[in-house]
Amino acid sequence: MEAYHAFAAVYDRMMDEIPYESWCDFVTGLLAAEGVENGLLLELGCGTGTLTELFARRGFDMIGVDSSEEMLQEALRKRDESGLEILYLLQDMRSFELYGTVAAVVSLCDTMNYLTEYADLVQVLKLVNNYLDPGGIFIFDLKTAYYFSEVTGDRVFADPDEDASYIWQNEYDAQARMNRYLLTLFLRDEETDLYERFDELHEQRAWSAEEIRRAAGDAGMEVVKFVDGAGDPVSEKTERIYAVLREKGKQK
């Protein structure tokens, strides 16, 4: 899961077309439908904190967890500018620790796809279940096998820019449902006007709804529903699944 080091410097610019406001509205709507409209909200894989700040502005008391120090540095810079009270923790989602329970947990931007081993998937769900209030909600999204095979596939994407350019090379193994992509970055040094090259290898796995349901059961959680980005039932051509899970085992 080692990734997002040099990438952190240009992540926000590469993601500037993502409709974060609409994304936040959609997820807060899913939370509200399950009775969670405020309180402590944990974001696993918070990255540079864009969504974390949006959730905070919606009235949630936010905790952000990420394993990339470079991504969190960007998040802290944003927090300094906004003045929002957000707690950021540098932790691996497979072993995160909190001081108490939270009303809900979210993990977006396909963070859960970075869990490529079933045991790690179950471990994260167990930790989430442990740190949720009784009946608390966990919402996360996943890119699907359809997305990896039909949208990115074995394609190469590139974006030239004066300050930072990237080449994104994808390789999808349909049998293993593993997507590997090599991200090559060229970042310009303002002082020397020279470019430095960085290479990062990212690996993501396409988990099916059936596997998520089994992992949730193994972790002691229960599945509420799976929906697509419009809130409709998933289909074979769904590109992104949203899983809504509930804490199970604690007494209210």
- For residue 12, what pLDDT is reported? 55
pLDDT at 161: 75
Q: What class, spelled out in words, does domain 147-205 have in CATH?
A: mainly beta
Ordered by start, the domain boundaries in the chain are 6-145+206-246, 147-205
SS3 for 161?
coil
Q: Please tell me the predicted confidence (pLDDT) of residue 2.
A: 45
The percentage of residues in the chain with a pLDDT greater than 70, rounded to a whole number, is: 93
Model pLDDT for residues 200-221, shown as the tens digit of each residue: 888 999 999 999 999 999 999 9
CB 217 within 8 A of CB 5: no
pLDDT < 70 regions, the chain: 1-17
pLDDT at 1: 40
For the stretch 21-67, pLDDT in tens is 999 999 999 999 999 999 999 999 999 999 999 999 999 999 999 99
pLDDT for the residue 18: 75
| φ, ψ for residue 147, nearest 5 deg | -60, -50
Q: In terms of DSSP H, where are the helices of the chain?
A: 11-14, 20-33, 50-57, 69-82, 118-131, 145-146, 209-219
Quote the pTM value: 0.91
What are the structure tokens assigned to 71, written together? Answer: 């991504």
* 146 contacts: CB under 8 Å, gap ≥ 6: 236, 237, 238, 239
Question: Residue 44's closest CA among 11, 25, 67, 20?
Answer: 67
Find the helix or strand (DSSP H, E) in which 185 lies.
strand 178-188
Return the CATH number of the domain spanning residue range 6-145+206-246: 3.40.50.150
Task: Please give the C-alpha separations between residue 172 and each of 95, 150, 161, 221, in angstroms, as whole numbers.
Answer: 28, 10, 27, 30
d(CA 31, CA 153): 32
Mode of pairing for the β-strands spanning 178-188 and 132-143: unpaired
